Homo-oligomer: A and B are copies of this chain.
Amino acid sequence: MSDDTTTARRGALAAMGTAAFVGLAATAEKAAAQAPRESLLRSVITRGRLIVGTGSTNAPWHFEDDRGQLTGMDIAMAKMLAAGLFDDPNKVEFVRQDPAQRIPNINTGRVDIVIQFMTMNPQRAQLVAFSRPYYAEGIALLTSPRGRFKTFAELRAAGANARASVLQNAGADQLVKDALPQAQVLQLDTQANVIQAMEAGRADTAVVDLSTVRWLVRRTPDRFLDAGHSYRSQLYGAAMRQSDPDWKNFVDTVFNVNMFGHITDNYDGALKEFFGIEPRQRTPGFPPI
Protein backbone atom coordinates (compact mmCIF):
# COMPACT_ATOMS: atom_id res chain seq x y z
CA MET A 1 0.00 0.00 0.00
CA SER A 2 1.42 3.37 -0.90
CA ASP A 3 2.10 5.81 1.88
CA ASP A 4 -0.74 7.97 0.63
CA THR A 5 -3.58 5.58 0.25
CA THR A 6 -5.16 5.31 3.62
CA THR A 7 -7.10 7.92 5.40
CA ALA A 8 -4.66 7.55 8.28
CA ARG A 9 -1.93 9.03 6.16
CA ARG A 10 -4.21 11.70 4.85
CA GLY A 11 -5.13 12.37 8.45
CA ALA A 12 -1.46 12.71 9.31
CA LEU A 13 -0.99 15.20 6.50
CA ALA A 14 -3.95 17.19 7.73
CA ALA A 15 -2.55 17.07 11.24
CA MET A 16 0.57 18.89 10.06
CA GLY A 17 -1.79 21.80 9.78
CA THR A 18 -1.52 25.15 8.17
CA ALA A 19 1.51 26.33 10.10
CA ALA A 20 3.64 23.45 8.91
CA PHE A 21 2.61 24.05 5.34
CA VAL A 22 3.29 27.73 5.54
CA GLY A 23 6.75 26.84 6.81
CA LEU A 24 7.34 24.48 3.92
CA ALA A 25 5.94 27.06 1.55
CA ALA A 26 8.45 29.60 2.77
CA THR A 27 11.22 27.09 2.08
CA ALA A 28 9.85 26.49 -1.38
CA GLU A 29 9.68 30.18 -2.07
CA LYS A 30 13.24 30.70 -0.88
CA ALA A 31 14.41 27.80 -3.02
CA ALA A 32 12.63 29.28 -6.01
CA ALA A 33 14.22 32.67 -5.41
CA GLN A 34 17.68 31.10 -5.20
CA ALA A 35 17.16 28.84 -8.20
CA PRO A 36 18.91 29.80 -11.42
CA ARG A 37 16.55 31.30 -13.95
CA GLU A 38 17.45 28.68 -16.53
CA SER A 39 14.83 25.99 -16.92
CA LEU A 40 15.68 22.50 -15.69
CA LEU A 41 14.85 21.42 -19.23
CA ARG A 42 18.03 23.15 -20.36
CA SER A 43 20.15 22.12 -17.34
CA VAL A 44 19.19 18.48 -17.64
CA ILE A 45 19.95 18.39 -21.38
CA THR A 46 23.34 20.02 -20.77
CA ARG A 47 24.13 17.61 -17.93
CA GLY A 48 23.37 14.64 -20.16
CA ARG A 49 21.42 12.61 -17.63
CA LEU A 50 18.19 12.90 -15.68
CA ILE A 51 18.14 12.71 -11.86
CA VAL A 52 14.97 11.12 -10.50
CA GLY A 53 13.96 10.75 -6.87
CA THR A 54 12.16 7.50 -6.13
CA GLY A 55 12.04 4.54 -3.77
CA SER A 56 13.18 0.94 -3.96
CA THR A 57 10.92 -1.07 -1.67
CA ASN A 58 7.37 -0.79 -2.99
CA ALA A 59 6.40 -3.23 -5.72
CA PRO A 60 5.04 -2.74 -8.29
CA TRP A 61 5.93 0.95 -8.19
CA HIS A 62 9.69 0.99 -7.48
CA PHE A 63 11.62 -2.09 -6.37
CA GLU A 64 14.69 -4.16 -7.20
CA ASP A 65 14.63 -6.97 -9.70
CA ASP A 66 16.68 -10.17 -9.35
CA ARG A 67 19.83 -8.34 -10.36
CA GLY A 68 19.34 -5.46 -7.94
CA GLN A 69 18.21 -3.09 -10.70
CA LEU A 70 15.31 -0.75 -10.01
CA THR A 71 12.11 -1.61 -11.85
CA GLY A 72 8.40 -0.84 -11.56
CA MET A 73 5.81 1.57 -12.91
CA ASP A 74 7.53 4.69 -11.52
CA ILE A 75 10.84 3.52 -12.96
CA ALA A 76 9.22 2.97 -16.36
CA MET A 77 7.90 6.54 -16.37
CA ALA A 78 11.41 7.82 -15.53
CA LYS A 79 12.90 5.87 -18.42
CA MET A 80 10.32 7.32 -20.83
CA LEU A 81 11.51 10.78 -19.79
CA ALA A 82 15.17 9.84 -20.24
CA ALA A 83 14.38 8.41 -23.68
CA GLY A 84 12.61 11.66 -24.55
CA LEU A 85 15.61 13.68 -23.42
CA PHE A 86 18.55 11.59 -24.67
CA ASP A 87 17.13 8.91 -26.99
CA ASP A 88 18.40 6.56 -24.28
CA PRO A 89 16.12 5.28 -21.49
CA ASN A 90 19.13 4.48 -19.30
CA LYS A 91 20.53 7.99 -19.02
CA VAL A 92 18.82 8.38 -15.68
CA GLU A 93 20.28 8.43 -12.17
CA PHE A 94 17.92 7.26 -9.47
CA VAL A 95 18.18 8.83 -6.02
CA ARG A 96 16.69 6.35 -3.56
CA GLN A 97 14.83 8.40 -0.99
CA ASP A 98 12.32 8.01 1.77
CA PRO A 99 8.83 9.22 0.87
CA ALA A 100 9.32 12.02 3.42
CA GLN A 101 12.14 13.39 1.23
CA ARG A 102 10.03 13.72 -1.87
CA ILE A 103 9.20 17.41 -1.57
CA PRO A 104 12.42 18.59 0.12
CA ASN A 105 14.61 16.90 -2.49
CA ILE A 106 12.76 18.75 -5.24
CA ASN A 107 12.99 22.15 -3.63
CA THR A 108 16.67 21.88 -2.70
CA GLY A 109 17.48 20.83 -6.27
CA ARG A 110 18.77 17.40 -5.18
CA VAL A 111 16.60 15.79 -7.91
CA ASP A 112 15.08 17.04 -11.17
CA ILE A 113 11.79 15.27 -10.61
CA VAL A 114 10.16 12.84 -8.19
CA ILE A 115 8.32 9.81 -9.50
CA GLN A 116 7.39 7.84 -6.39
CA PHE A 117 3.69 6.80 -6.18
CA MET A 118 2.82 10.34 -5.20
CA THR A 119 -0.82 11.22 -4.75
CA MET A 120 -1.65 14.62 -6.20
CA ASN A 121 -3.18 16.64 -3.39
CA PRO A 122 -3.68 20.33 -2.66
CA GLN A 123 -1.23 20.50 0.26
CA ARG A 124 1.60 19.19 -1.90
CA ALA A 125 0.51 21.35 -4.83
CA GLN A 126 1.31 24.35 -2.62
CA LEU A 127 4.96 23.30 -2.69
CA VAL A 128 5.58 21.54 -6.00
CA ALA A 129 4.20 21.46 -9.53
CA PHE A 130 2.55 18.20 -10.53
CA SER A 131 2.72 16.64 -13.98
CA ARG A 132 -0.41 15.33 -15.65
CA PRO A 133 -1.52 12.17 -13.79
CA TYR A 134 0.03 8.95 -15.09
CA TYR A 135 -2.07 6.52 -13.08
CA ALA A 136 -5.27 6.48 -11.04
CA GLU A 137 -4.71 4.37 -7.94
CA GLY A 138 -7.65 2.87 -6.10
CA ILE A 139 -8.66 0.52 -3.30
CA ALA A 140 -9.56 -3.07 -4.13
CA LEU A 141 -10.38 -6.40 -2.52
CA LEU A 142 -7.83 -9.21 -2.60
CA THR A 143 -9.20 -12.73 -2.19
CA SER A 144 -7.87 -16.26 -2.39
CA PRO A 145 -8.72 -19.11 -4.79
CA ARG A 146 -9.14 -21.23 -1.65
CA GLY A 147 -11.28 -18.67 0.18
CA ARG A 148 -14.94 -18.95 1.15
CA PHE A 149 -15.86 -15.84 -0.82
CA LYS A 150 -13.99 -15.02 -4.01
CA THR A 151 -15.93 -12.24 -5.74
CA PHE A 152 -17.24 -8.88 -4.66
CA ALA A 153 -20.79 -10.17 -5.14
CA GLU A 154 -20.08 -13.10 -2.82
CA LEU A 155 -18.46 -10.83 -0.23
CA ARG A 156 -21.42 -8.44 -0.33
CA ALA A 157 -23.91 -11.28 -0.10
CA ALA A 158 -22.05 -12.68 2.91
CA GLY A 159 -23.01 -9.55 4.86
CA ALA A 160 -21.80 -9.70 8.46
CA ASN A 161 -20.22 -13.10 7.81
CA ALA A 162 -17.54 -11.54 5.64
CA ARG A 163 -14.28 -10.63 7.41
CA ALA A 164 -11.94 -8.02 5.94
CA SER A 165 -8.32 -7.35 6.94
CA VAL A 166 -6.98 -3.83 6.51
CA LEU A 167 -3.97 -1.77 7.59
CA GLN A 168 -4.80 -0.20 10.93
CA ASN A 169 -5.47 3.52 11.01
CA ALA A 170 -8.16 6.02 11.88
CA GLY A 171 -10.08 5.62 8.63
CA ALA A 172 -9.66 1.88 8.22
CA ASP A 173 -13.17 0.94 9.28
CA GLN A 174 -14.72 3.38 6.85
CA LEU A 175 -12.41 2.18 4.10
CA VAL A 176 -13.80 -1.33 4.44
CA LYS A 177 -17.39 -0.26 4.94
CA ASP A 178 -17.42 1.87 1.79
CA ALA A 179 -17.21 -1.43 -0.09
CA LEU A 180 -18.63 -3.96 2.40
CA PRO A 181 -20.96 -2.13 4.80
CA GLN A 182 -21.66 -5.08 7.08
CA ALA A 183 -18.26 -6.82 7.09
CA GLN A 184 -16.24 -7.54 10.23
CA VAL A 185 -13.06 -5.46 10.17
CA LEU A 186 -9.70 -6.88 11.25
CA GLN A 187 -7.13 -4.09 11.58
CA LEU A 188 -3.50 -5.24 11.42
CA ASP A 189 -0.17 -3.49 11.83
CA THR A 190 1.59 -4.14 8.54
CA GLN A 191 0.56 -4.67 4.96
CA ALA A 192 2.29 -8.06 5.00
CA ASN A 193 0.13 -9.14 7.94
CA VAL A 194 -3.01 -7.82 6.24
CA ILE A 195 -2.36 -10.05 3.26
CA GLN A 196 -1.15 -12.98 5.33
CA ALA A 197 -4.35 -12.94 7.42
CA MET A 198 -6.36 -13.34 4.24
CA GLU A 199 -4.17 -16.16 2.96
CA ALA A 200 -4.34 -17.97 6.30
CA GLY A 201 -8.13 -17.78 6.22
CA ARG A 202 -8.49 -15.45 9.21
CA ALA A 203 -9.98 -12.90 6.82
CA ASP A 204 -11.99 -13.43 3.63
CA THR A 205 -10.54 -10.43 1.85
CA ALA A 206 -7.66 -8.02 2.27
CA VAL A 207 -8.54 -4.40 1.54
CA VAL A 208 -5.44 -2.92 -0.14
CA ASP A 209 -4.35 -0.74 -3.07
CA LEU A 210 -5.66 -1.74 -6.47
CA SER A 211 -2.09 -1.77 -7.77
CA THR A 212 -1.11 -4.28 -5.07
CA VAL A 213 -4.03 -6.51 -5.99
CA ARG A 214 -3.14 -6.38 -9.66
CA TRP A 215 0.55 -6.99 -9.01
CA LEU A 216 -0.03 -10.00 -6.72
CA VAL A 217 -2.63 -11.52 -9.03
CA ARG A 218 -0.34 -10.99 -12.00
CA ARG A 219 2.68 -12.60 -10.30
CA THR A 220 0.96 -15.44 -8.44
CA PRO A 221 -2.50 -16.11 -9.87
CA ASP A 222 -2.58 -19.44 -8.04
CA ARG A 223 -2.47 -17.63 -4.69
CA PHE A 224 -4.46 -14.44 -5.26
CA LEU A 225 -7.67 -13.23 -6.87
CA ASP A 226 -9.06 -9.77 -7.59
CA ALA A 227 -12.61 -9.76 -6.23
CA GLY A 228 -13.54 -7.37 -9.03
CA HIS A 229 -14.39 -4.12 -7.30
CA SER A 230 -12.29 -0.97 -7.04
CA TYR A 231 -13.11 2.45 -5.58
CA ARG A 232 -11.63 5.69 -4.17
CA SER A 233 -9.48 6.66 -7.13
CA GLN A 234 -6.42 8.83 -6.49
CA LEU A 235 -4.32 10.58 -9.12
CA TYR A 236 -0.60 9.79 -9.15
CA GLY A 237 1.63 12.44 -10.72
CA ALA A 238 5.30 13.26 -11.01
CA ALA A 239 6.40 16.27 -8.94
CA MET A 240 8.72 19.08 -10.00
CA ARG A 241 9.84 22.44 -8.68
CA GLN A 242 7.46 25.34 -9.28
CA SER A 243 8.05 28.42 -11.47
CA ASP A 244 9.52 26.34 -14.30
CA PRO A 245 6.82 26.04 -16.96
CA ASP A 246 9.22 24.79 -19.65
CA TRP A 247 10.17 21.78 -17.57
CA LYS A 248 6.56 21.01 -16.66
CA ASN A 249 5.42 21.40 -20.28
CA PHE A 250 8.17 19.07 -21.44
CA VAL A 251 7.30 16.38 -18.88
CA ASP A 252 3.58 16.66 -19.64
CA THR A 253 4.18 16.36 -23.38
CA VAL A 254 6.39 13.28 -22.93
CA PHE A 255 3.78 11.66 -20.70
CA ASN A 256 0.95 12.58 -23.10
CA VAL A 257 2.79 11.15 -26.08
CA ASN A 258 3.64 7.94 -24.22
CA MET A 259 0.06 7.54 -23.01
CA PHE A 260 -1.91 8.72 -26.05
CA GLY A 261 0.47 9.30 -28.99
CA HIS A 262 2.67 7.27 -31.31
CA ILE A 263 5.07 5.80 -28.73
CA THR A 264 2.77 3.99 -26.30
CA ASP A 265 4.66 0.67 -26.27
CA ASN A 266 6.60 1.44 -23.09
CA TYR A 267 3.62 2.77 -21.15
CA ASP A 268 1.41 -0.07 -22.32
CA GLY A 269 4.16 -2.56 -21.57
CA ALA A 270 4.52 -1.27 -18.01
CA LEU A 271 0.76 -1.38 -17.38
CA LYS A 272 0.77 -4.96 -18.64
CA GLU A 273 3.88 -6.05 -16.75
CA PHE A 274 3.06 -4.51 -13.40
CA PHE A 275 -0.74 -4.58 -13.33
CA GLY A 276 -1.83 -7.07 -15.99
CA ILE A 277 -3.76 -4.29 -17.75
CA GLU A 278 -4.27 -4.89 -21.47
CA PRO A 279 -3.25 -2.12 -23.88
CA ARG A 280 -5.86 0.56 -24.30
CA GLN A 281 -7.45 0.85 -27.73
CA ARG A 282 -6.56 4.28 -29.11
CA THR A 283 -8.79 5.66 -31.83
CA PRO A 284 -7.44 8.26 -34.24
CA GLY A 285 -9.56 11.31 -35.11
CA PHE A 286 -10.95 13.55 -32.38
CA PRO A 287 -8.18 13.78 -29.77
CA PRO A 288 -8.63 11.53 -26.72
CA ILE A 289 -7.35 14.27 -24.41
List chain A positions with a Cβ less than 8 A from chain B: 10, 14, 17-18, 21-22, 25, 29, 38-39, 41-42, 45-46, 48, 83-88, 119-123, 125-126, 129-130, 132-138, 140, 210, 230-235, 242-243, 245-246, 248-250, 253-254, 256-257, 259-263, 271, 275, 277, 280, 282-289
**Alpha-carbon distance between A256 and B263 when the two chains are bound, in angstroms:** 24
**Alpha-carbon distance between A17 and B136 when the two chains are bound, in angstroms:** 34
Consensus secondary structure, chain A interface: mixed
Which listed residue (B17, B84, B285, B288) contacts A210, Cβ 8 A?
B285
Residues in B with CB closer than 8 Å to A45 are: 21-22, 25, 126
Additional pairs, 16, CB under 8 Å, beyond known A232-B262, A259-B287:
A17-B87, A22-B45, A41-B126, A85-B122, A119-B261, A120-B256, A125-B250, A126-B250, A133-B256, A133-B289, A136-B283, A136-B284, A138-B284, A210-B284, A235-B260, A289-B289
Residues in B with CB closer than 8 Å to A25 are: 42, 45
Nearest-Cβ distance from residue A131 to partner chain B, whole angstroms: 10
B243 touches A39 (CB 8 A): yes
A285 touches B39 (CB 8 A): no
Residues in B with CB closer than 8 Å to A242 are: 39, 41, 246, 249
**Alpha-carbon distance between A286 and B234 when the two chains are bound, in angstroms:** 11
Residues in B with CB closer than 8 Å to A125 are: 84, 249-250, 253-254, 257
Residues in B with CB closer than 8 Å to A87 are: 14, 17-18, 123
Residues in B with CB closer than 8 Å to A83 are: 122
A120 touches B210 (CB 8 A): no
Q: Which residue of B lies closest to A140 (CB)?
A: B284
Among A18, A86, A126, chain B packs the most CB atoms within 10 A around the CB of A126
A253 touches B120 (CB 8 A): yes
Nearest-Cβ distance from residue A119 to partner chain B, whole angstroms: 7
